[in-house]
Amino acid sequence: MNKCEQCIVRQFSSLKALTKDELVKMAECKTSYTIKKGEAIFEEGEVTNGIYCVKDGVCKMTKLSANGKDQIVKLIKAGELLGQRSMISDEPANLSAIALEDMEVCFIPKAEVMQFFNENNQFSMNVMKTICNDLKDADDQMVAMAQKTVKERLAETLLYLEDTFGKNTDGTLHIQLSREELAGMIGTATESCIRLLSEFNKNEYIELIGKKIAIKDRNKLKRLAD
Amino acid sequence: MNKCEQCIVRQFSSLKALTKDELVKMAECKTSYTIKKGEAIFEEGEVTNGIYCVKDGVCKMTKLSANGKDQIVKLIKAGELLGQRSMISDEPANLSAIALEDMEVCFIPKAEVMQFFNENNQFSMNVMKTICNDLKDADDQMVAMAQKTVKERLAETLLYLEDTFGKNTDGTLHIQLSREELAGMIGTATESCIRLLSEFNKNEYIELIGKKIAIKDRNKLKRLAD
DNA sequence: CTAAATCTATGACAAATATCATATAAATTA
DNA sequence: TAATTTATATGATATTTGTCATAGATTTAG
């Protein structure tokens, strides 16, 4: 059993407010999992009864829409927590969490989290601020979906992906998304997404290197995205 | 100065968790406002430094998008609180709150709210649950914007408006939205919204009575909305 | 009450986007 | 390795949606 106290990623989440004692307690009740790329941590409608702390890897939070397409609502990376909203609302998960890379996550049962919640004001405040931030992002994204064109949203998303997940030495986006997944993020058909990537490629805003994407002209993309 | 203790609408919000003493304290620090239809309670970017409790009336929460259109993110009615997210995040308002009818609202300064927050666990839990609910709604709405057609979103919205705000004796929706505002809710051009309303009218899903809208066939609308 | 402004409505057309078909490239499996 | 599946790419076309123009209806202001 690894000690939570020595786990670096906790510094990046609400958990940074926990005391040494609380961390020891958490280490005792947590369960560690390895999740393979493509596997679900949990799925929409599932009762989770706790939260997950992402130690390594990235996952997508998706929702299946009536037309059968998976909409990617957000991406979660190492250091972030999963399932906080469902836990607080006391509801089944509203979104599925699917690994985009091999992941390491720790599960912390609801009972313990709620105890930290009640005893540690800073922790609960941190969680609340995180959720408030998620709400702001969701509102903004909703407006983008409603008011921006697919082209604008693609430009915006490419910049977000580079800013959030960085790039490889060859300049390609570090995060590996299929065209279908990228389309699922911007809310469009896969073919439309591919077509616009080709267009961006021709215009030299980006470069397509096999399945990978390298951003060539941030400014032009930024201007496009508004 | 009216007593918060005797105010019925507090029962419908997170404030229901407050004790008698806390309510007395709140009554002493609150400010009451009358807001005329069309006026703003606060605007996007404004620092609010507190929350508003809606005593009467309905307002729209909007965000101005880059193309100059106002997207309506949500509607708030009597009994609900406004500005909680900004207060907790310690940020300027992300959305504008504009009265759709004449309103009565009470402003409660941040300092007092935060004190209740720290001293009354049930209250802070209520606020948190409300925000979690807002987050779920926002995520769902985002997916709807991305994946549903304008027609589906219009059908969905009409049902939501009847369910949430009720109807008049003649069957028309009680809430008064202009075609432009309705378009702003579903995220489309005003003309497209009007055109679809005409179509729904021809198909007898709804009836247009002047500027008012009456739902005639809930089932067909529901089937359309998915 | 009348004139002006605003809102609702509709036609004509343009632009954006989705769908279907098909080809090629890449990855996976037998 | 060959065969099969899956992912990417692109053309052709249909559908959806937006934009511009205009007209009538309603509301507002003088």
For residues B166-193, give the mean pLDDT: 96
For chain B, the first-to-last Cα distance in angstroms comes to: 48
Q: Tell me if chain A has a CB within 8 Å of the CB of B88.
A: yes
CB A87 within 8 A of CB A110: yes
- Write down the pLDDT at residue A196: 97
- Write down the pLDDT at residue B3: 85
Burial A77-104 (b: 16+ CB within 10 A, else e): bbbbbbbbbbbbbebebbbbbbbbbebb
Q: In angstroms, what separates the C-alpha of A168 from chain B's closest C-alpha?
A: 30
Q: What is the average pLDDT value for chain B, to the nearest integer?
A: 95
For residues B92-102, give the mean pLDDT: 96
Q: Is the pLDDT of residue B200 over 90?
A: yes
Give me the CATH topology for the region A8-145.
Jelly Rolls (2.60.120)
Answer yes or no: is A222 CB < 7 A from strand D. no
For residues B79-86, give the mean pLDDT: 97
Answer yes or no: is A179 CB < 7 A from strand D. yes
Does A8-145 match A148-225 in CATH topology? no
**Cα angle A30-A33-A56, degrees, rounded to a multiple of 5:** 100
pLDDT in tens, A121-174: 999 999 999 999 999 999 999 999 999 999 999 999 999 999 999 999 999 999
Cα dihedral B142→B143→B145→B149 (10° resolution): -170
Answer yes or no: is B151 CB < 7 A from strand D. yes
Burial B97-110 (b: 16+ CB within 10 A, else e): bbbbbebbbbbbbb
Q: Is the pLDDT of residue B2 over 80?
A: no
Chain B nearest-CA residue for A183: B146
pLDDT in tens, B147-171: 999 999 999 999 999 999 999 999 9
- Write down the pLDDT at residue A1: 64
| Chain mean position to CA B76 | 2
- Neighbouring-strand partners of residue A103: A35
pTM of the predicted protein model? 0.95
Half-sphere exposure for B87 (CA within 13 Å, toward CB)? 24
User: In angstroms, what is the C-alpha Rg of chain B?
Assistant: 19
Instruction: Please report the DSSP string for A162-199 in residue order.
Output: HHHH-B-TTSBBSS---HHHHHHHHTS-HHHHHHHHHH
Interface contacts (A, B; CB < 8 Å): 115
CB A53 within 8 A of CB A81: yes
- If one counts every other C-beta atom within 10 angstroms of the C-beta of residue A44, the result is 15
Half-sphere exposure for B109 (CA within 13 Å, toward CB)? 8
CA of B179 and C1' of C4: distance in angstroms? Answer: 22
Tokens of A208: 């397509």
Chain B nearest-CA residue for A122: B118
Domain range list for chain B: 8-145, 148-225
- Write down the pLDDT at residue B67: 85
Cβ separation of A71 and B95 shorter than 8 Å?
no
Interface of A with B in 18-47 (CB under 8 A): none
- Write down the pLDDT at residue B1: 63
Answer yes or no: is A63 CB < 7 A from strand D. no
Q: Is the pLDDT of residue B112 over 80?
A: yes
Query: How far, in Å, are A100, A144, B102 from residue B36 at the CA level?
Result: 50, 30, 4
Tokens of A124: 């609960």
Distance CA A165, CA A174 (A): 6
Nearest Cβ partner of B145 from A128, A136, A142? Answer: A142
Q: Is the pLDDT of residue B97 over 70?
A: yes
CB B206 within 8 A of CB B133: no
pLDDT in tens, chain A (226 residues): 678 999 999 999 999 999 999 999 999 999 999 999 999 999 999 999 999 999 999 999 999 998 889 999 999 999 999 999 999 999 999 999 999 999 999 999 999 999 999 899 999 999 999 999 999 999 999 999 999 999 999 999 999 999 999 999 999 999 999 999 999 999 999 999 999 999 999 999 999 999 999 999 999 999 999 7
Tokens of A134: 């998620």
Q: Is the pLDDT of residue B17 over 70?
A: yes
Q: Tell me if chain B has a CB within 8 Å of the CB of A180.
A: no
**Which contacts qualify for A61-64: CB closer than 8 Å, 24 or more apart?**
A61/A95, A61/A96, A61/A97, A62/A95, A62/A96, A62/A98, A62/A184, A63/A94, A63/A95, A63/A96, A63/B139, A63/B140, A63/B143, A64/A96
Phi, psi of A149, deg, nearest 5: -75, 165
- Write down the pLDDT at residue A78: 96
Q: Tell me if chain A has a CB within 8 Å of the CB of B118.
A: yes
- Write down the pLDDT at residue A67: 85
To the nearest whole percent, how much of chain B has pLDDT over 70? 100
Closest CA to A59 of A110, A13, A105, A14: A105
Q: Which CATH number fits domain A148-225: 1.10.10.10, 3.20.20.70, 2.60.120.10, 1.10.287.110?
A: 1.10.10.10
Query: HEC states along A103-132?
Result: EEEEEEEHHHHHHHHHHCHHHHHHHHHHHH
